Structure 1
């Protein structure tokens, strides 16, 4: 930090630090050896379970130990427990992984273990043949959605949290309205347009709503174009915004929409003459015009593409070959 005097460590202090670090490594390696030895002998004891806790607190990416931990629960601990006791153990597992996620929010194996916990929730009180909507399962899934939202509050672009969210929403005993989830993605996007995962989530929800006829396709799609245009003008260099715009355009069957959006992007390029994404998108959409509506466009469209590709080669030389390949296919 500026203005803070750096204290030079003595040789003795450095040696002591190195010794402490070596001691931790030695302890960790001994723990690993002990756990893997128990795993090799199919030890499903509580002692083995506790050892996996110690290892995973140090190294949550040790997926072999996560697998072993689940086998201990399934083969050694759960068979001796009542449904209530299993419920309590799974609650402890989720608490343990919640603590781990605070330190390691992007470790896949922690998220994977939470999924396993949910999939092993026993039948609870008030169960019925309709899926136990009044028992433990509903409580678990509702809490998981809450935890996931807290994780996304901390990091709105955490891919793992968004993936887990889709898993939760798909498996909830009482489904959350998709319109509510659409509103959630709107809040996340409006707070930060540079959120690829939120845009991606939006494509999934809208595809479902449009496909089922639960949302007016024409009206809502125009609203989406308005949303993404605002994002484009706010940050024309954000790739996630342009990818969403391309998803809205689709395969270019609607020439009127193509023409309109080309005008919008050209206006933005006039304001931001060095915008690579404006140029790339104009090339992409003009190529769609040539491919889908060739009888309605003139040769000048192809010339525009060549001019833009030439500018892109100068602006983005690392992808020069790619732009040359595109030009060859015009």
Structure 2
């Protein structure tokens, strides 16, 4: 805390602290050497398995040790186990990595190990001579719950969003895509600046349009209304602007393009120094020029004026704006 007097540590206390840190380093190096030696000798024992867990608890980014741990399971433990025991082992692995993710939510190798676990869950017990999907479905359902809790803790964790897409795409019983659209609505409603949620929404909508579950024309208009609320709420946040550009696409719909240009122009009147408003107006007016009004001198002049303002407002991108203005003069 500020303005709180700190008492200097005594030489004895500093020496003791240094000794503890040195001991931890020596312990880690010794453990690493032991594990890598066993890996080199292709030892697939339970002892080696336990040692990998100790090492990964210290350093969860040690991807070589994650690989070794999987090889121990495949070559040493699974061959001696029943399908039910393998399911229990993999459930334990998922529990172990859940704990690891709470402390290290953005370590890719933990998420990667969870994928491997899910992909190796055996079929459930047979019913009338046919293996059931009971174990697989239970693990995948639980996985979706876990990733939702991770996104509750950090709604912008892009690794968790990527993993969510993986889970939804590979569940034995697929969830309707409309439920994912509702999920992204909740996440965006909680925070308009959640870029990952907007991105997930775009992926979901494409699937719904391609499958014929949503009318692309009507739903796109609904999306424009949603994103417009976000733009007016926080015109300086880029997440909604990027999504807006995705909705516009290549600007083939002239009426839609002109409508959105007018909306952004009105927002610029309220926020005269909004860089994103000006950049978007230039981008969309240039689409109008390319697709619908190639000879419009008025549009060109409006773009030149906006770019001149941007050169003053955003000098870091001065030369980019200058190049755009030069293209309009040609």
> What range is the shorter-chain TM-score in?
over 0.9
- Map residues 258-273 of structure 1 onto 2, 5 A cutoff: 258-273=257-272
Q: Secondary structure at the match of 1:88?
A: helix
Question: Does 1:245 find its partner at 2:244?
Answer: yes
| Deviation larger for 315-324 or 220-229 | 315-324
State the partner residue of 1:69: 69
Rounded to whole Å, the distance in 2 between the matches of 1:111 and 1:328 is 47
Q: Aligned pairs, how many?
A: 328
Rounded to whole Å, the distance in 2 between the matches of 1:289 and 1:110 is 47
State the partner residue of 2:47: 47
Question: Could you give the per-residue CA deviations for residues 187-220 of structure 1, whole angstroms, max 9, x where no partner exists?
Answer: 0000000111100000011111111211122221
Rounded to whole Å, the distance in 1 between the matches of 2:248 and 2:159 is 28
Contact 1:132 1:138 in 2 (8 A): no
Q: Secondary structure at the match of 1:294?
A: coil
Question: Could you give the per-residue CA deviations for residues 38-90 of structure 1, whole angstroms, max 9, x where no partner exists?
Answer: 11111111111111101100000000110111011101111111111111110
In structure 2, relative to structure 1, the CA distance for the partners of 1:23 and 1:250 (3 Å cut) is same
Contact 1:131 1:173 in 2 (8 A): no
Give the unaligned 5+ runs of structure 2.
Answer: none
In structure 2, relative to structure 1, the CA distance for the partners of 1:236 and 1:129 (3 Å cut) is farther
Rounded to whole Å, the distance in 1 between the matches of 2:274 and 2:13 is 52
In the TM superposition, what is the alpha-carbon distance from 1:321 to its structure 2 partner? 1.9
Question: Does 1:304 find its partner at 2:291?
Answer: no
Rounded to whole Å, the distance in 2 between the matches of 1:7 and 1:163 is 47
- Map residues 118-267 of structure 1 onto 2, 5 A cutoff: 118-126=118-126, 132-133=132-133, 135-267=134-266
In the TM superposition, what is the alpha-carbon distance from 1:130 to its structure 2 partner? 8.9
In structure 2, relative to structure 1, the CA distance for the partners of 1:12 and 1:127 (3 Å cut) is farther
In the TM superposition, what is the alpha-carbon distance from 1:132 to its structure 2 partner? 3.9
Give the unaligned 5+ runs of structure 1.
Answer: none
Rounded to whole Å, the distance in 1 between the matches of 2:29 and 2:97 is 22
Normalised to the residue count of structure 1, the TM-score between the two structures is 0.96
In the TM superposition, what is the alpha-carbon distance from 1:127 to its structure 2 partner? 6.2
- Map residues 96-111 of structure 1 onto 2, 5 A cutoff: 96-111=96-111
State the partner residue of 1:59: 59
Rounded to whole Å, the distance in 1 between the matches of 2:211 and 2:226 is 22
Question: Could you give the per-residue CA deviations for residues 107-126 of structure 1, whole angstroms, max 9, x where no partner exists?
Answer: 00000000000000011124
In the TM superposition, what is the alpha-carbon distance from 1:174 to its structure 2 partner? 0.9
Rounded to whole Å, the distance in 1 between the matches of 2:176 and 2:201 is 14
Question: Does 1:274 find its partner at 2:273?
Answer: yes
In the TM superposition, what is the alpha-carbon distance from 1:13 to its structure 2 partner? 1.4
Q: CA RMSD in A?
A: 1.6
In structure 2, relative to structure 1, the CA distance for the partners of 1:18 and 1:124 (3 Å cut) is same
Rounded to whole Å, the distance in 2 between the matches of 1:280 and 1:13 is 58
Which of 293, 313, 323 aligns to 1:325? It is 323
Q: Secondary structure at the match of 1:329?
A: helix
In the TM superposition, what is the alpha-carbon distance from 1:8 to its structure 2 partner? 2.3
Question: Could you give the per-residue CA deviations for residues 25-47 of structure 1, whole angstroms, max 9, x where no partner exists?
Answer: 11101111111111111111111
- Map residues 288-303 of structure 1 onto 2, 5 A cutoff: 288-295=287-294, 298-303=296-301
In structure 2, relative to structure 1, the CA distance for the partners of 1:269 and 1:127 (3 Å cut) is farther
Contact 1:193 1:231 in 2 (8 A): yes
Question: Does 1:115 find its partner at 2:115?
Answer: yes
Question: Could you give the per-residue CA deviations for residues 219-257 of structure 1, whole angstroms, max 9, x where no partner exists?
Answer: 211110010000001111111110100010010000111
State the partner residue of 1:38: 38
Which of 306, 311, 320 aligns to 1:313? It is 311
In the TM superposition, what is the alpha-carbon distance from 1:4 to its structure 2 partner? 4.3
Q: Secondary structure at the match of 1:111?
A: helix
Normalised to the residue count of structure 2, the TM-score between the two structures is 0.96
